[in-house]
């Protein structure tokens, strides 16, 4: 089964919103599943540094306020990428996805512009 069909409506909307913010020439060399991988790995990173909590019973996710070390986050995603067999994103492609996620978050009011 396609991973994207397993997403909730909100998750799908977020994924498509981020996908649309990635320049067309960059999208040609990646897939929506690549974007989803980066988003999931971002959450893994945030959880590992204590900025995301998951309620084990309900599955509810809470994002906590705090600073993210962007270099550390990129390195975390690159490290996770090595274990992935389906495709190989470059650090530039991952950064493009991270930038689109930030832009989407600002548009949605999740983040404040600095």
Q: What is the DSSP letter of 7?
A: S
- Dihedral of alpha carbons 78, 81, 82, 87, sign: negative
pLDDT band at residue 85 using 50, 70 and 90 as cut-offs:
low
Asked if the model's pLDDT at residue 2 lies above 80, the reply is no
pLDDT of 77 reads: 94
Mean pLDDT of 76-93: 84
pLDDT in tens, 44-66: 999 999 998 988 888 788 888 88
Residue 87 CA to residue 85 CA, distance in Å, equals 6
As a whole number, the mean pLDDT across the chain is 89
User: In the structure encoding, which two tokens stand for residue 61, read together?
Assistant: 């996710």
Contact 51, 70 (CB under 8 A): no
Q: Are strands 52-54 and 61-63 parallel, antiparallel or unpaired?
A: antiparallel
pTM: 0.87
């Amino acid at each position: 089964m396609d991973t994207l069909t397993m997403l909730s409506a909100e998750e799908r909307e977020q994924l498509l919103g981020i996908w649309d913010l990635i320049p067309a020439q960059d999208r040609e060399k990646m897939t929506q599943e690549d974007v989803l991988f980066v988003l999931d790995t971002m959450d893994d990173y945030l959880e590992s540094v204590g900025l995301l909590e998951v309620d084990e019973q309900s599955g509810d996710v809470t994002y906590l306020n705090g600073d993210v070390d962007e270099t550390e986050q990129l390195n975390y995603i690159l490290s996770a990428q090595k274990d992935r067999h389906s495709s190989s994103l470059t650090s530039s492609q991952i950064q493009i996805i991270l930038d689109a996620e930030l832009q989407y978050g600002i548009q949605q009011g999740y983040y404040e512009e600095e």
